[in-house]
Amino acid sequence: MWPLKGERILDIATGTGWSARNVAYLGANVTAIDIADDLLDAARSLSEHVKPSITYQHADAESLPFEDECFDGMISTFGIMFAGDHRAAAKELSRVCKTGGRIVLATWLPGQESFVARMFGVVAKHGNTPILLHRR
C-alpha cells in the first residue's frame, strides 16, 4: 500500500534521501533519519524543492528519539540492514509504528552467496575500510 497524503512516515537510514523524497511526492509527511551528518546535509540540499518538506535529523535506528506509536509507517531502503544490533532496531521500529501501521524494508539477501556480499568481499580485499557482511 502506498503512503497516503498526510500520513506520518519515518525513513530510517535515509542516506541522501531518495526514498524520503519519493514518499513526500505522494503527500506524506516524512521524517528522515541517519547517523551520517554529511549524508543528511546532502539529503537536505537535494530535497529543498520537495513539498511537503521533509524533516531530516540525526538519529540512530537502535534508539529512536520519538514517542511510542507516532508514525503511520516506516521505510528503509538498504539502510537499516547496516544497524549494529538488528534486534534493538526492530524493537524500536515496532515501538514507534502505530498499531496497524506498515514497515517496509528493502534489503539484500544475507550470507556469503549473494552478489552484494561477494562484491563487498572484493572491495574489502582491496581497501582499508572494514565491511560487515553478515551478523548472526
Mean model confidence pLDDT for the chain: 88
Contact 106, 77 (CB under 8 A): yes
- Residue type at 35 in one-letter notation: I
Per-residue model confidence (pLDDT) at position 136? 37
Looking up cell 538498504 gives 78
pLDDT at residue 120 is higher than 60: yes
107 or 44, which is more confident: 44
Q: Which three cell numbers stand for residue 17?
A: 534521501
Residue-wise pLDDT for 60-110, tens only, equals 999 999 999 999 999 999 889 888 899 999 999 999 999 999 999 988 776
3-state secondary structure of 70: coil
Rounded CA-CA distance 134/127 in Å is 18
pLDDT at residue 129 is higher than 60: no
CA pseudo-torsion sign 78, 68, 28, 15: negative
